[in-house]
Amino acid sequence: MANNKHYMEDFVHANKLILLGKLTASLVHEIRNPLSAIKLNLDYMNMAKDDLPNDIQEIVGESLDAFDQVSFLIEDVLDFTRKPSAKIHEVDIDQVTNRCLKIISVSAKTKGVTIEKCIPLELPKLNVNKNKMMQVLLNLINNAIEASHDKGKIIVRAFEENEKHQPKVVWQVQDFGCGIKEEDKKKIIGKYFTTKSKGNGIGLGVCKMLTDEMNSDLSFDSNYGEGSTFTLKFTV
Ligand SMILES: Nc1ncnc2c1ncn2[C@@H]1O[C@H](COP(=O)(O)OP(=O)(O)OP(=O)(O)O)[C@@H](O)[C@H]1O
Ligand SMILES: [Mg+2]
């Protein structure tokens, strides 16, 4: 039993690393060189700051702050790679979605895909593990990007719903990409099934496992050639 638990943890972690690999490959490639050049120049200007006019001093300060923001973003990505604790957090679904969209923005931009977000501010908080939740959202958004055509659109939305007098928070990602063939629909979750040349077919299996652990529900609706919507339902 203990072994099985460890195996599952390793399985989830392996998926995380695969996902991270995909994200960072494009991220690091695009930002590493220009970023270090910018930082060097800014530090150089900052050393001589007493000789600079006030407005330029201000600009250098603002630029160094902006640089810090990028560093935080990189920290977020690194934080995501750590194995999750079993800790339950009060999660703001809008904030977690924003973090995921930031992390994934480079993959989206590379493909010219725009992501629209429609989440009202007053949604109830969820009692879940934030790291697990991020892993699920990132897998689903990443699949939506991979399914989209170049310059396509993705909509991420969340809303409240009453199901049999039980309040639920619903989170959805909708794409207008390739869609899923009828005969594939039964295979895509938890069967190591992939239609991608570089796919591993474990993303949705991991999502299913994590949503079960979070006491939430994962479902999807798709029309081949038109697009898909993946839905998460959380009990509030
Ligand atoms: N939004 C989507 N649109 C169309 N097909 C999808 C979508 N999401 C998942 N699929 C289908 O489900 C399959 C399984 O998805 P899953 O995320 O488990 O694996 P993968 O994306 O192929 O590989 P990885 O393990 O890297 O995530 C995909 O190969 C694809 O055929
Ligand atoms: Mg996937």
Question: What ligand 1 atom has the least distance to the C-alpha of 144?
Answer: 1
Whether the CB-CB separation of 110 and 26 falls below 8 Å is answered with yes
**Interval between CA 140 and ligand 1 midpoint (Å):** 8
- In this predicted structure, what is the pLDDT of residue 83? 65
Strands (E), the chain: 89-91, 114-118, 126-128, 153-163, 166-175, 216-223, 227-235
Strands (E), 43-95: 89-91
pTM (2 d.p.):
0.77
* Residue 152 CA: distances (Å) to CA of 99, 105, 114, 145, 209: 21, 14, 7, 8, 29
**Which residues, including other chains, have CB under 8 Å from residue 46's CB and lie 6 or more apart?**
60, 61, 64
**Interval between CA 162 and ligand 2 midpoint (Å):** 30
Neighbours of ion ligand 2 (CB under 5 A): 143, 203
Q: Which ligand is nearest to the CA of 196?
A: 1
Nearest alpha carbon, ligand 1 atom 17:
203
d(CA 201, CA 174): 20
**Which residues, including other chains, have CB under 8 Å from residue 208's CB and lie 6 or more apart?**
189, 190, 218
**Interval between CA 198 and ligand 2 midpoint (Å):** 10
Q: Per-10-residue mean pLDDT for the chain, 236 residues long? A: 72 81 67 79 91 92 83 68 75 93 87 97 93 92 97 98 91 98 95 88 91 94 98 95
One-letter amino acid identity for 155? Answer: I
